[in-house]
Structure formats: C-alpha cells, structure tokens
Structure 1
Amino acid sequence: MASAVWDISGPALTSVREQVDAQLADFVSAQEQEAPGPEMAPLFATARRLLFSRGKRLRPLLCMAGWQAAGSPGDSHAVLRVAAALELFQTFALIHDDVMDDSDVRRGGPTAHRSLAAAYIRAGGRHSRAEAHGRGAAILLGDLLLVWSDTMLADARLSARARARVLPLVDTMRAELVHGQYLDLLGTGRISEDVGAALRVARYKTGKYTVERPLHIGVSLADGGPGLLQTCTDFALPLGEAFQLRDDLIGVFGDPVQTGKPVGDDIREGKATVLLALAFQAASRAERRLLSTLVGSPELTDEDLGRVHTVLDTTGARQRVEMMIVSRRDAALAALKAADLVSDVTAMLTRIAWTATERYP
C-alpha cells in the first residue's frame, strides 16, 4: 500500500470528501455574497485555492470515522458540517503557519501571503509595500477562516447535549495545536539532540490535532462512550507521531513535485525534528560542526543540503526514523485490531494508517 503521495481511495472515502467539498463550496459562496465589495476578491480566491487544491481532508475523514464507529446515529448533516468546519480550521492553521515560517509554497502553489502580495501589486500597489501587505492580509484571511469554522459549527444545528459534548473537544483541539505550534517555534533554530522534545511537538501538532481529536469529535457527535474514546486515543497517538515522522523525512528527502512543498525548508529553518535530533546524537565532532553550521541557514544551497543528507544517512538517523515509523504504525494497527470496530471503519482507518506512513520520499 505504499504511495509517494496521499492516495486515500475507495468509494466510501471518496464520497466523504465529495460531500465535505460540497459543504465547503456552498459555504464559501454564501460568505462571498455577504462580502462588502469586489476588493475582497483576492481573499476569497486565495481561500478557494487553498481549500480545494491537493487537500487530503484527513480530519473530516477521521471525524466521519469516529461517528461511524459509534454507530452513526441520525442524519449525517450535522457531522458533515462539523467535519467541514475542521477543514476550515486546518486551512486557517496552514495560512498562519506559512506566515510564521515565511514559506513560499503550499499545496503546489504560492502560500497565502505570497499570493496576496502578488495580487496587491497587480492591483497597483507599491512593490516596497507588497511583502508587508501580503503578511497582513494572510493573517486576516486566516482569522476569517477561523471565524468561518465557528460559523459552520453553529450552522450544524447540534442539539444542546451534542454541543456540550463536542464544543469543549473543539476548544481543546485548538488549544493543543497552539501549544504544539509554540513548542515548534521555540525549538526552531536551536539544533538539539533532545528526541523527547521533538516527539512532544509531533504529539501535539499531529498526534492530537490531526488524528486523535477529529476521531474524538466524531465519536462524541454520536454520543460514544469513554471506552471508544480511549480506543481512538490508542490508535491515534502512535499513528500521529508516525505521520509526523514521515513528514519530517519527506521534508528533507522528498520530491517537491509530489509533495507540493519545497524540499529542505526544515533544514533551512532549523526545525527541531526527531530526524535532526537523532543525527546530532550520533554525529562525530566534525559532523556536529557541519550540522551546527548548515542547519538553520536560510542561504543553504543544494550542495549544502546534500552534505546534510549525507550526515543524516551516515549517522543512521534516517534509518532509525524509518524504524520508529514502523513501530508506531504497528502499535496503531494493533490497537485497531483489538478494538473490534465495524468493518467499514476498520478498513478506512487501516487505509489511512498505511497511506500516512508509507509515503516514500
């Protein structure tokens, strides 16, 4: 089931994505009709491009899987609205993340701040002001998507009991993402051999935010019990860490044509990944000097990146990360097997687990 890019296929998964996309398309169109004027067009064009280009819809899929695992009671309208709201929140997070990292490319196209800077120039804005405008406009667009995610949650027409179960989980998910992002920000630019700290970032940014909480929200929409919530956690946390570890490898060794993102940005930014921590632990004195010099350098050349690649291979860091991915995926699949969920949910989660962890760089 190996795949170089995300390919979560199958009729049920495709149907969920199509239904979520329809919810998002209708919602954004309705919001645009309420916009104050044509000046807002670049914001909506950028939002649409990011929402509908190369998105995996992983969080909506997991939300639906949690709901189905708990018996999928009632109409699917509410869960689809909540699932779509998760995608709006994810796009908000990506936009702000790209501003913080000063990234150029997202999902195969320019990041929001780059796109909005270019739109500003096309509209007659001054080149000297374009970069600041792009950053400011992107922050506002991210804020707008955050507001939209709340609006879509409110439009889900949840019962009072369902709101009491679900909204605290949404708030927790959002706070956990901020915690993870801040931990990531703190570690950036400080090369370290602290694998535990890097794994903590992976747990909050990916294990909890990307996998565990969307499953929990789906289960809670269906009023599932604590046992099922724990099963979701047992599956989600190791899988989320494995997912992030795979992303770390792809970010250094991947193909930008397939990933839609530049290769080597984590090295240029000095991200405190497990991959780099393991390399620094095992590096010789000369290799440590090389890593200390090159990691975190925004002027890193392709030749420099190749030298870092060599260290990551010769120290065994790349191989050890591969082994960590396998062990965590195995733990997630073992938890899934022990859970005895309905077959469609087990099949969906199994496919997600393999696809998330077998994307080869």
Structure 2
Amino acid sequence: MTAQMARDIDTEGLRARCDAELVAFLDRQDPGWPDGAPRGVFDTLRRFVLAGGKRLRPMFCYWGWRGAGRPDSPEIVAAAAALELFHAFALIHDDIMDGSDWRRGEASVHRLFADLHTRLSWRGDPGAYGRSAALLCGDLCATWADQMFHESGIPADQLRQGYAVYAHMRTEVIAGQYLDLVSGVGDGSVASALTVIRMKAARYTVTRPLQIGAGLAGAGEELQAAYAAFGDPLGDAFQLRDDVLGVFGDPAVTGKSVLDDLREGKPTVMMALARARADRGQADRLRALFGNPGLDGDGAEELRAIIVATGARDRIEHMIRVRAESALAALADAPVTPEARESLTTLAGSAVNRQR
C-alpha cells in the first residue's frame, strides 16, 4: 500500500472531519435559534448528534464519491456528514416506536424529555410529553439534514443528481419503518423479516449512501449498479449483526439493553428462524416470553438459550458470512479506484465484524 493510499483510508481521520462539519453546521444554527424557543431542544439535539456513532453512512457516501474518481474535498465531507443528521432523525423516531429508553449508552431523546417533565412536576403524562418532544426533535434533524446537504458547496447540477438518490432513500426508510410495524403483527416469517431489513436499514446504511456519493460525483448507471451489488448484501449483513448484538451483545459496549428487542417482540430474522426451528416445548416458551413487556433477565437468558439450541444463531452467522463474501466479490469487480476499493473493503469488515 502506498503512503498516499494509507492516508486515503484513514477512517478515524475521516470520522473526525465529519464530526467537525457537524459541529460547524450546528454552530451556524445556534445564532438563528428562534427567540423564546426553549434552548433545551437545541442543546439536546446537539449532544445527541455529536455523542458517538460509527459515522458509517457518511463514510460510505464519501467513498462512493472517491470511487467515481473524484478527489477529496471539504464539500463532499460536508454533504456526506449531512447523512448523519438524517440518521439522527431515524434513530430518534425508531426509539419512540420501539419504546427503547437507551441509545449509545445514554437515555434516548424521548426518555430525556419524559424525565425532564417528571423532574419539574409538570401537568400531564410525562411519557406522552417525552414522545411528542422527541418527534419534533427528529423532524428538526431531518430538516437540518436537507439544509446541510444543500449548503455543502457541491455544484448545483451534481447536487441534483445526488439529491435524487437521497430523496429516494428517505422514502424507502419510512416505508421500511412502516413495513416493520406491519411485520410485527403479521406472519413473522423469515422472508418478511429479510424484506424489512433490506428496506429499513440495509440500503439506507450502505447502498444509498454509496449511490448518493456517486450521484454527487456525476457517475453513471454502471457505477450505481456496482454499488448496489456491493451494498445490498453488505447492508443485510450489517443489520443481521445488529440484530445479534441486540440480543447477545454486551450493553456496556453496545449502549443498548439486551432486553429491549426481546420485550418488544422485534420481528428479526434470527427470531423468525428460532420460531421456524423450535420444537413444541421451545415454541411454547417463545410464545410466552418473546414480546412480553415484563420480561426479566432470567427470561431473556432462557430465550437466548432457545435461540442457540434451535441453531438460529449459527444460521444467522452463516448468513452474515455469505452476504459479506458476496459483497466483497462484487466489490472486486466494481469499476472503482484502487483506494476506494481498499477503503470499502476495510469499511465492510468494520460493519460486519463489530461488537457495537
């Protein structure tokens, strides 16, 4: 690897540059915060957006641009970082819908506002207040993402091409979120669970950010198709890993409880496989425990034992490996620059082989 290539794939450096762009954007919003509007909303969002995160979506967007042969520039970093604001919108709304009280090791946004309501002894239902306040925060993040994207400095004709993919991604994520709701009350099949992760998470994590970067670079259909061939299976593998960590991960590392998905009855591929492979006794216990809002640690441990005993966890690990290998095979044939191929290979590994 050349010294230039080593600099090009400095993942931590790129993450820091994305964070710096987010800080600069939020600093520009501060003076314009409406008079009389509580500062708590702005301050809460600033902390939430800047508090950790893998920044995978901005990095895939950046390398989508570089893979098309475009040079590094502050403008593409700013446009890519805007995707993190959209991600904040998605996380805030997802936590409300899932009833998750923790995110990145901290209280989720709706929980913060509910706690504020309780602490100040305001009238009404703290939970309802928290959810409503968080919904508005999520909406503001989506608005800011659009603003930051358009203010990135990318030339207008290229911006329009990238924004077409960006707009499609937004629609796809919301449709996938609705499909997730439907699947929660539907058949709970492996096929429906796979459809949900492709629409709700996989494409929005890898494929669309890559394609947005390619669109901003003015790339044609060949590169867009190559990014889909790489991104779709890798995004699936990423989300399958996320579902495993949601049940088997270390909360001190993931920042989320291992009870949330089980209490919610989240319709993951892993749980669909466990149900499909369970014997009668195991199926009875799955019905009794999975989706029980009062599930405790002992019940969660029993569920994890059933998942392992049915072979569902091993099957998920196999699915992750197959999809990661498929993605890397597609990347090997993709018409991208050598430094982009190297960087995307590194990102693929970090997306799949992770503990948080």
TM interval, shorter chain, is over 0.9
Equivalence for 2:308: 313
Task: Summarize the alignment of residues 72-83 of structure 1 with structure 2, pairs less than 5 Å apart.
Answer: 72-73=70-71, 76-83=73-80
SS in 2 for 1:272: coil
Partner of 1:90: 87
Q: Deviations over 1:18-61 (max 9, x none)?
A: 22111111111221211124753221222122111221111100
Change (3 A) 1:290 1:190: farther
Aligned counterpart, 1:69 = 67
Gap change, CA 1:119 and 1:42, over 3 Å in 2: farther
Q: In structure 2, what is the Cα distance between the partners aligned to 1:33 and 1:60? A: 26
Of 94, 99, 103, 1:102 maps to: 99
Contact kept in structure 1, 2:76 and 2:154, CA below 8 Å: no
Q: TM-score, normalised by structure 1?
A: 0.92
Task: Give the alignment partner of residue 232 of structure 2, picking from 223, 237, 243.
Answer: 237
1:79 partner amino acid: I
Pairing of 1:329-348 with structure 2 (within 5 A): 329-339=324-334, 341-348=336-343
Within 2, Cα distance between the matches of 1:288 and 1:117?
37
The equivalences for 1:109-148 within 5 A come to: 109-122=106-119, 124-126=120-122, 128-148=124-144
One-letter identity of the residue aligned with 2:69: G
Aligned-residue CA RMSD (Å): 1.9
Cα distance in structure 1, aligned partners of 2:142 and 2:27:
16
For structure 2, the 5+ residue unaligned runs are 1-6
Cα distance in 2 for partners of 1:264, 1:346 equals: 38
Q: CA deviation at 1:213?
A: 0.5
On the 8 A contact 1:188/1:272 being kept in 2, the answer is yes
1:219 aligns with 2:217: no
Kindly provide the amino acid, as one letter, of the partner of residue 126 in structure 2: A
Is 1:59 the counterpart of 2:57? The answer is yes
User: How far, CA to CA, are the matches of 1:266 and 1:151 in structure 2?
Assistant: 33
Change (3 A) 1:127 1:286: farther
Residues 71-111 of structure 1 show CA distances to partners (whole Å, capped at 9, x for unaligned) of: 115x7233222112111111011111111111100011000
How many residues are matched? 350
| Residue-by-residue CA offset, 1:242-266 (whole Å, 9 max, x unaligned) | 1111111110111000001111311
Per the normalisation by structure 2, the TM-score is: 0.93
Partner of 1:44: 42
Residues in 2 aligned to 1:149 and 1:234: alpha-carbon distance in whole angstroms = 27
Matched with 2:23 is: 25
- For the 8 Å contact 1:60–1:83, the answer to whether it is kept is yes
Partner residue of 2:3? Answer: none
In 1, Cα distance between equivalents of 2:14 and 2:102: 27
Q: Work out whether residues 191 and 292 of structure 1, in 8 Å CA contact, stay in contact via their aligned partners in 2.
A: no
Matched residue type, 2:105: G
Give the deviation of 1:10 after TM superposition: 8.6
SS in structure 2 of the partner of residue 42 of structure 1: helix
Amino acid aligned to 2:99: D
Deviation per CA, 1:269-314, whole angstroms, max 9, x where unpaired?
A: 1111110111111111111111111111110011111111111111
Report % sequence identity.
43
* Secondary structure in 2 matching 1:72: coil
Contact 1:189–1:271 (Cα < 8 Å) also in 2: no
